[in-house]
Structure 1
Amino acid sequence: MLMPFASLAQSEVVVTAGAAAPEKTLGEVVILGKRVESNPNAEVGAPYKAKTSADTRHTRPLAETPQTISVLTRTALDDSGLSDLKQVLGAQPGITLGTGENGNAFGDRYIIRGQEARSDVFVDGLRDPGMTTRESFAIEQLEISKGPNSSFAGRGTAGGAINAITKQATLDHDFERVSIGAGSDSQKRVTADLNKGFGDHFALRANVLYGDEEVPGRAPSERNRKGIALSGLYELDKDLSVTIDYYGLRTKDQLPDLGFYLTGTVPNRVPATNVPVYAQANDALGSDVDTLTARVNWTIAPALKLSSLTRVGKSDNFYQTTGASAGTRYDGATGTAYTTGYIDGGHTGWQEVKYFAHQSNLRWDKELFGLKHEMIFGAEYTDHQVVSGNFTVANGNPFNCKSTAGVGANNAFCFTNSAGVPVANLANLSGRSYARNTYNQDWQVKALALTAMDTVDVTENTTLFGGLRADHFDMSLVRRTPATGVITGDYGYKDTLVNGHFGLSYKVLPKLIVYGSAATAQDINGGEADSGTSSGYGGAVLYQNKIAGAKPETSVNLELGSKWNLMDDKLLATAALFQTKKKDVMEGANYDTIGTFNTGSNRVRGIEIGLSGNVTESLSVQMGASVIKSKVLASATPANIGKPLSNFAEQSLSVQGKYQLTDAFSFGAAVRHESDRCGGQPDTAAGFTAAGLCSQPVPSFTVGDIFAAYRFSRRFDVRMNVLNVTNKDYFTAVYRSGSFLYKGDARAVRVTLNYEI
């Protein structure tokens, strides 16, 4: 709009009689503008703040939604320098990471407010059952709902749900953005985000990824990522549009690192030091993901809108990994005892995942009985199947140490000999190879769900929300002996889950609400596809060789909170007190079917605060902090009662801030803190000794990152990230035996060039 005035301002002409008109040249006129945001849910002018949820069932802005929902915008993700979803979520308050738990090492494992959430990851509102390694290159914003969420998400979601919102084609504007990154640890990363409209009705968008790096501080372990996301939009008119998306991702970790391990005995049980990379040469972990999604958005009438989403997909996952521990071993030739690290026999698995899902939601805005209602009626059908098996492990090299005392044949692989001399080539210590076996399990769940929700303004300041969802599921689980093909178990059952969500909010000020909410969630027996009949890890608990006979586990969340839009709606402050109580918990003993139906109960209480948006015109911040306490209330094992739950930190903090010093230069930092935690099985008390000391402790940590960016022109800028700037050794998760202690990345430097074509 300023262009005509800018042109006129280039010269000033003064005319006098009988004289030539002299010219006076003014200074350079600079026209500044901000890049148009491609995310329709963003708050304009506040890069770290989302205004709305991409889930259309949330009919009000996030600042008016009676629930804790943390949102990470695309800008916040880019500034952080983190790319894998596990890294991003591990830095959020109230979320901790778990280990692959031996036989269940597929993909990423999250724990939200003390509850398992590895199967509670959604993409654009539909459950993503692939349990893969997930990447952020195609994500527009990341929404984390805290507290039981079955009325929105269906079975599971006892602690919350993670919803990744993908980048979609748009007719709003064209853009071509390319990012090229390089850094320490041989890091290379290239991404491109291209959107082009063709006329008034059709647009295409493509996002591509290539990434490769050594694991910081743990070379030669390395990560490789390749991906493409294609989106095509056809907009017949402003009332009807169809979008078809394809998403493909190929991930592979070569020599995947299972980290360190704990040594010593309580109370002196601590992480080992100077642990070398012990992964064997043929070790690998990978995922191949392909999904096709079609969505329809139809405004039938001004007050009647239909959104429909259909997805078909598959993923192929595998892992071939080696763990390690330390302890006393023996020289088989001399019987000499010595302390050393040693590798275990390996951990393997593969999955073939196929899924189909359809969800339709009809929104109807209607005034009834003098009150404004925003009603949602939904239907969803899903069919998820997971066929899985493992690999046979063969060792081609001779053993070099002995696990039992005395002289005799060696039967183990050790890092050093009895004189303390390290082996020459640790990656080839065992000469390990893997051969894929046929399947040993076929897991499938089909479910049909119906949903009804309503948001109604009772008074000018008071709003009620109510939601109800019924899920009818049909689950089957077939177990098989691969070598013979003999079926060893054929289990199945059906049930219907009914869950609700109720919220009441009151506007204390035009931009400040207080609210109360209550919500439920239910988990089913055997609902974790990667666990089979490993009852201790979410697998099926059997009784008289049957899976049925158990009530669903039920979680109830009560929450009191407030949300305040500040700084002309550019800053959102939130605070919430919550309690989640879980009853009818199925308790498992181990990696077997031994367990008990509905004998457990636990409680989680806490407070969480958040801040996102612009503190000033120049300072953007994304902050969250939580303090959580947990307690086992009932258990088939009396000694567990009164103990905390396993694998979560009672205090956590995450702060990311960016300061725009000039129009061209910005800088920032991120700090995350987690208190210590104690390992153990899901839904079971953390491992404590009789004296009340944690047997598998993970130390607390505080890690800081810094970043800076400089914009050379409207089209070109550069950003530098230094992750773990103090190069701190820290650990994110522990296996219940202490043999896997996942290590956070060491210091890493990343430089990224961003160019808009």
Structure 2
Amino acid sequence: MSKSETRETLRPAAVPGAIMMSVLSASLIPSTAHAEMAAADNDRQIVVSGQRVSDANPDADPDAPYRVERSSNGRMTEEVRDTPRSVTIIPKEVIEDIGAQSFRDVVRSTPGVTLGTGEGGNAFGDRIFIRGFEARNDVYIDGMRDPGVSSREIFGVEQVEIVRGPSSFLGGRGTTGGAVSLQSKAPLENDFIIGQASIGTEDLYRGTIDINQNIAEGFAVRLNGLYHNADTPGRDYVGSERYGIAAALSWQPAPGLEIAADYYHFRLDGMSDYGHPFDIDSQGPVDVDADNFYGVVGRDFLENGSDIGTVTIRYTPNDQIDLRSMWRYGEVYNRYIVSAPRAPCRFALNPDNSCSNAGPELPIDQWTVAVGAPQRNARTRYYATINDATLNVSTGGIDHTIVAGFEYANERIGNRRYAIPDFVEDGNGNQFDTSTSFVRNLLNPDPVLGFTIPHLLDPTPATTTDIESMGVYLIDTLKFSPQWEALVGIRYDTYDIDQFLPARIFRGTALPEQRLGNTVDFLNYQAALVFKPVEPLTIYASFSTSSNPSGEQLDSTSSSYGGLAPETASLDPERNTAFEIGIKYEPNDDLLLTAALFHITKDNAREQTAPGIFELVGEQRSQGFEISATGNPLPGVSVFAGYAFVDAEITDSPDPVNVGVRFANIPRHSGNILVTFEPVSGFQFGGQAYAQSRIYGGTIGAGDASVPGYVRFDAVARYRITEQVELRLNVLNLTDERYYDAIYRSGTPFSYVAPGRSAFLTLTAGF
């Protein structure tokens, strides 16, 4: 029996270029020895790799925990090595070693996945791009879409899976460049209690606990808890307090039958931050102190919360049939007021604090920055179900693994604005006029009001968006021989969106009540061929499609942000096609090397052809290649590395000026390499380098404004004090590199300042 077969038997039922090329070349050296297999289920020691046996990831290689061999998505039935598309899986061991403490931290270290800004037209939260295309509404939890845009935590996450390339046959609408799924920690077969306590710079205090207990035969529970309080490294006044609980149970009342349930509760309370203003001359961030904060302390805030409950019933009567029914109800809220720093004013101010833009230019120490107040009070409520069957059958000498099923979702998003009073008491008996712009000195901003502006809701009814969607799918993996396989998947979706906008005042103009809707259906598929000349080598070619219906980005009501609007409500979905060829190779049992070439085309992109008129007349193209190495190239050496080259541009447009313009928000080059060494038993050290090239701002096509590329270094060391106790030291951004996560779309944008240098020490104890 192979190692992977053994692992599957034991797992619970529910459950910049040259550097990268050098790493991959070195990784081809075969390993001459491996660590011993994990100890028995009741062994709770900390092994030399830093992987705790008791809470080991059931999908990971027990000898090489950086390498995850199988996706948790039940629709992807083969191991990652034999899956005919690019899949990046980031396990919790990698998450710990790179020092990530949020979903945003994970993305910041992932090649080919880019952070974007929350703006006036879309939510401030986890906005991401994959292979050049928007993916903020393509985030899933345990394979089911998580429609609420917010700031996500990872304390209850086993692994983060990134499926690249158009994937509507797997996930429904969207997924143009790919999709991300967070796999929750589920009950395991062995008992353990693992606590972690972290303390660090920037007043970091973080504690987590992971408890897994088998209460009775066939009945297990797992509880994860979090408390976190910290400032943001390198940023004045910015930080967050957050806490959460992730509880899960698994009950097997009869052979082959499992009932699983989980509940996720999370709260975040912090300060919103839009970073630094831009210099209109250089079209880059203004050169000011990294910690300069241009917000309004006493008005600005950020609050996120999630309550998500899921029940899954799974019945596996034999090796040929696996039936699953998954049901979920969730509520996610995202509330904030945030200051958007405008371009510096170089002239005297008018009485209303607006920039005069005339007269003699002032010395730079008298330049000022006015800030706006983008805001949101949004709540997403949804219920959804996935029901499918996995069948293993043989016909005419061909083995089939068939997944057939349907899913249904009902989503409702409501968003209201805040009513900021015109005058508030400043604490000294004076009335403060909030109607004038908040103005800061460019070099020495003083953001503290000294009093509080209340967060009162505007009496205007909420803007609401209701979505009802349904999809049916059929996926068949055909095995003709040990050398040849094929995958064919097809999915049909219906998508019905209805939007209500109340009568309101927008930028001084009275707008009437409005209702919009769009009802469409679409068909998507993937067809792939796999060739295995020898067992460790997989070569594949794949063709896949996806669809983007109008209003797909549910956090927006603006056409330019992907939301539903009068000018786009009657349009058919955009269509995307992709070709991908790739190779996956195992030079030893604990290492996987991959490489892929991809070409994605959006044939009928929505473009504005006249004021208030959009048509499906544009064309966009993203192409490039990706390479990766995950696992152990040598005994005592672990590697998690990747590089992505993305060449994305507008290839056709009714406006000739747009043709040939590269995509906004997307770096051409991005790469990371995380390497750890274990010179002696119980001691491990290493580090990560992450590099990214320049990013340009803009809506779809890039403008002149940009943030520079950068190289960031992190370090990690682990020391096993006893079999149950371990210390881990993380130092992030070792050189205190000034870099920027993202850039706003306008010609005078703001830019998110990434965290500065920080360090924290984590004590882990297992019982």
2:639 counterpart residue number: 621
Could you give the per-residue CA deviations for residues 489-510 of structure 1, whole angstroms, max 9, x where no partner exists? 1111211110001111100211
- Where does residue 649 of structure 1 map in the other structure? 667
Q: Distance in 2 between matches of 1:616 and 1:394?
A: 64
CA distance 1:216–1:589, change in 2 (3 Å): farther
Distance in 2 between residues matched to 1:62 and 1:299, nearest whole Å: 23
Label 1:430 to 1:191 Cα distance change in 2 as closer, same or farther (>3 A). closer
* Correspondent of 1:736 among 728, 745, 766: 745
Counterpart position of 1:362: 389
- Which whole-Å CA distance do the structure 1 matches of 2:382 and 2:335 have between them? 18
1:588 Cα deviation after fit: 5.3
Match of 1:459 among 473, 476, 481: 481
Q: Distance in 1 between matches of 2:635 and 2:443?
A: 60
Deviation at 1:40, TM superposition (A): 1.8
In 2, the alpha carbon distance for the partners of 1:331 and 1:447 equals 52
1:285/1:319 contact within 8 Å kept: yes
Inter-partner Cα distance in structure 2 for 1:421 and 1:515: 55
How far does residue 739 in structure 1 lie from its aligned partner after superposition?
Answer: 2.8
Counterpart in the other structure of 1:537: 561
Specify whether residues 495 and 652 from structure 1 end up closer, same or farther in structure 2 by C-alpha distance, changes over 3 A only.
same
Residue 492 in 1 paired to residue 517 in 2?
Answer: yes
Structure 2 partner of 1:108: 126
Question: Which residue does the alignment assign to 1:242?
Answer: 259
2:294 is matched with which residue: 267, 275, 278?
278
Work out the CA distance in 2 between the residues paired with 1:353 and 1:412: 31
Question: 1:500 is aligned with what amino acid?
Answer: Y
What CA deviation, in whole Å up to 9, does each residue of 1:132-188 have, x standing for no partner?
110110000110011100000100000000011000112x10010000001000000
Aligned match of 2:402: 375
Amino acid paired to 1:380: E
Q: Say whether the 8 Å CA contact 1:103–1:349 is kept in structure 2.
A: no
Offset at 1:329? 3.4
Report the Cα offset of residue 638 of structure 1: 2.1
Q: Distance in 2 between matches of 1:477 and 1:60?
A: 40
- Whichever residue aligns with residue 371 of structure 1, its letter is I
Task: Give the corresponding residue for 2:10.
Answer: none
Match of 1:557 among 578, 583, 586: 578
* Structure 2: gaps (5+ residues): 1-44, 427-434
What's the secondary structure of 2:169's corresponding residue?
A: helix
Identify the residue that residue 207 of structure 2 maps to in structure 1: 190
Distance 1:109 1:58 in 2: 25
Which secondary structure state, in structure 2, belongs to the residue aligned with residue 426 of structure 1? coil
User: Offset of 1:622 from its aligned partner?
Assistant: 0.5
- Which letter maps to 2:526? H
Deviation at 1:655, TM superposition (A): 1.1
Q: 1:265 matched to which residue of 2?
A: 281
Measured against aligned partners, the alpha-carbon deviations of 1:394-426 in whole angstroms (never above 9, x if no partner) come to: 465899xxxxxxxxxx9544323xxx9957x43
Hey, what does 2:492 align to over in structure 1?
A: 470
For the Cα contact (< 8 Å) 1:397–1:429, is it kept in 2?
Answer: no
2:469 counterpart letter in structure 1 = A
For residues 119 and 730 of structure 2, the distance between their equivalents in structure 1, rounded to whole angstroms, comes to 32
Q: Deviations over 1:605-652 (max 9, x none)?
A: 101001101111201111010111112112232211111111100000
Report the residue type matching 1:553 in the other structure: E
Which runs of structure 2 are paired with 1:73-88 in the superposition (5 Å)? 73-88=91-106
What corresponds to 2:14 in structure 1? none
Cα distance in 1 for partners of 2:424, 2:515 equals 40
Provide the C-alpha distance between the structure 2 equivalents of 1:469 and 1:564, rounded to a whole number of angstroms: 30
Q: Which residue of 2 aligns with 1:406?
A: none
Residue 710 (structure 1) shift: 0.4
Equivalent position amino acid for 2:101 in 1: S
Instruction: Please tell me the residue identity of whatever aligns with 2:275.
Output: G
Residue 748 of structure 1: aligned partner: 758
Distance 1:648 1:86 in 2: 16
User: Is the Cα–Cα contact under 8 Å of residues 121 and 561 in structure 2 kept in the other structure?
Assistant: no
Partner of 1:575: 595
Q: How many corresponding residue pairs?
A: 694
CA RMSD of superposed structures (Å): 2.4
Flag the 1:331–1:536 CA change in 2: closer, same or farther, 3 A: closer
Whole-angstrom distance in 2 between the partners of 1:394 and 1:251: 26
Output the amino acid matched with 1:524: P
The Cα shift of 1:90 comes to 2.1
TM-score, L = length of structure 2: 0.87
2:530 counterpart (483, 502, 505): 505
Partner of 2:732: 723
In structure 2, the CA distance between the partners of 1:226 and 1:430, relative to structure 1 (3 Å rule), is closer
Structure 2 distance, partners of 1:422, 1:577, is: 48
SS at match of 1:324: coil
The code of the aligned residue for 1:731 comes to Y
Residue 705 to residue 73, structure 1, CA distance change in 2 (3 Å): same
Q: Secondary structure at the match of 1:78?
A: helix
Amino acid across the alignment from 1:479:
L
Change (3 A) 1:421 1:713: closer
**SS of equivalent to 1:615:** strand
2:706 to 689, 692, 697: 697
> Matches of 2:111 and 2:255 in 1, distance apart?
40
Residue deviations 1:438-466, cap 9 Å, x none? 44411111111100010011222000000
- Alignment of 1:232 with 2:232, yes or no, is no
Residue 515 of structure 1 deviates from its aligned partner by 0.4
Output the CA distance in 2 between the equivalents of 1:61 and 1:579. 24
Is residue 321–residue 347 contact of structure 1 (8 Å, CA) maintained in 2?
Answer: yes
> What secondary structure, in the 3-state scheme, does the structure 2 residue paired with 1:661 have?
strand
Counterpart-to-counterpart distance in 2, 1:602 and 1:739:
24
**Distance verdict in 2 for CA 1:471–1:293, change over 3 Å:** same
CA change 1:637–1:436 in 2 (3 A) is: farther
Flag the 1:32–1:431 CA change in 2: closer, same or farther, 3 A.
closer
Once the two structures are superposed, residues 231-253 of structure 1 have per-residue CA deviations (whole angstroms, 9 ceiling, x without a partner) of 01101244111111000000122
On the 8 A contact 1:536/1:595 being kept in 2, the answer is: no
Report the Cα distance in structure 1 between the residues aligned to 2:104 and 2:632, rounded to whole angstroms: 26
Query: Does the Cα contact within 8 Å between 1:707 and 1:719 map onto a contact in 2?
Result: yes
1:712 has 2:739 as partner:
no
CA distance in 1 between partners of 2:627 and 2:613 (Å)? 38
Structure 1: how far apart are the matches of 2:754 and 2:601? 31
Q: In 1, distance between residues paired with 2:61 and 2:294?
A: 47
* Partners of 1:314 and 1:110 in 2: CA distance: 21
Shift of 1:470: 0.4
1:414 corresponding residue in structure 2? 439
Deviations 1:650-685 (A, max 9, x none): 00001111111211110010111110011111xx21
Q: Work out whether 1:585 is the aligned partner of 2:602.
A: no
8 Å CA contact retained: 1:439, 1:482: no
The amino acid of 1:140's aligned partner reads E
Computing the radius of gyration from Cα coordinates, the structure with the larger value is: 1
Name the % identity: 28
Name structure 1 gaps, 5 residues minimum: 1-30, 400-409, 688-694
Q: CA deviation at 1:589?
A: 9.3
1:332 CA drift (Å): 4.8
1:47-81: CA deviation from partner (whole Å, max 9, x where unpaired)? 10001110111111110000000000111111111
Instruction: Tell me the SS of whatever aligns to 2:649.
Output: strand
Task: Identify if the C-alpha distance between structure 1 residues 371 and 287 changes in structure 2 by more than 3 Å, giving closer, same or farther.
Answer: same
**Are 1:596 and 1:636, in contact at CA under 8 Å, matched by a contact in 2?**
no
CA-CA distance at 1:587 after TM superposition: 2.6
Rounded Cα–Cα distance in structure 1 between residues aligned with 2:176 and 2:444: 47
Specify the SS of the correspondent of 1:77.
Answer: helix
Report if aligned partners of 1:346, 1:393 keep a CA contact under 8 Å in 2. Answer: no
Does the CA contact (< 8 Å) of 1:354 and 1:386 recur in 2? yes
1:96 aligns with 2:92: no
Cα distance per residue 1:368-397 (max 9 Å; x no partner): 122111111011001111011211234658
- Aligned pair 1:633/2:655, yes or no? no
- Could you say which residue in structure 1 is the equivalent of 2:466? 444
Alpha-carbon contact 2:138-2:179 (below 8 Å) kept: yes
SS of corresponding position for 2:67: coil
